[in-house]
Amino acid sequence: MRRKLVVGNWKMHGSHAANAELLAGILAAKPYACDLAVCVPAPYLSEAAVTLAGSSVRWGAQDCSAHEQGAYTGEVAASMLSEFGCRYVIVGHSERRSYHHETDLLVADKAKAALAKGVTPIVCVGETLAQREAGETETVVKRQLSAVIHALGHCAGEMVVAYEPLWAIGTGRTASPEQAQAVHQVLRAQLRAATAHADAMLILYGGSVKPDNAAQLFAQPDIDGGLIGGASLKAADFVAICRAAG
């Protein structure tokens, strides 16, 4: 049985005071029956590492460079994240793909760079509303995941996958449990064809997950937890979602 994982994605939110209050609320509610982590903006990695040290809560980053080092102003190398004790890094989030025009190949290279430094990539895949309405969901997510599987080779089983339909991110719309499960099942089958570890791999759902819908989503056989955006910024909501996973 796969142990659920809930990951908070703070996006571009945070301050010293807000972070301290949020992390204190999360820590005060432990123990949890699931694994959990927070992926924070790069300036707050040290703060998260100090606050969460010795606890069961992991911390991670929201992106990393595909390059090891060099003249890449503004980029953050996976080796730097590793020094901060990051367990996870999000790669290929829809906002990076949309706003920064990241390609499937670049996302795959980032995932490979992260794994090379011992940081687990959370690889995001998902379709737009237009693609879903055109019946292209399966083609899109399989194409996105295929690039990463190819780049990672025999290490593909070490990543975490997150399905995040773009039409359900920050919109208040959520894929129904049945819609989400259908895509997770497709992704699981694709992973089974690529690695013997597929049945142990985690596939998270991301897209307007809230305390009142988390339990139904997490009850699906191939949904192994969530990548949580807005609800991860309120300790009470994030804790409730974590409880739903356990």
Catalytic residues: 93, 164
CA distances from 7 to 58, 109, 170 (A): 9, 22, 16
User: What residue type is assigned to position 186 of the chain?
Assistant: V
CA–CA separation, 139 and 132 (whole Å):
10
Helix (H, G, I), strand (E, B), or coil: what is residue 11?
coil
Q: What whole-number distance in Å separates Cα of residue 38 and Cα of residue 59? A: 5
Distance CA 40, CA 14 (A): 8
Which positions ≥6 away from 154 have C-beta within 8 Å? 195
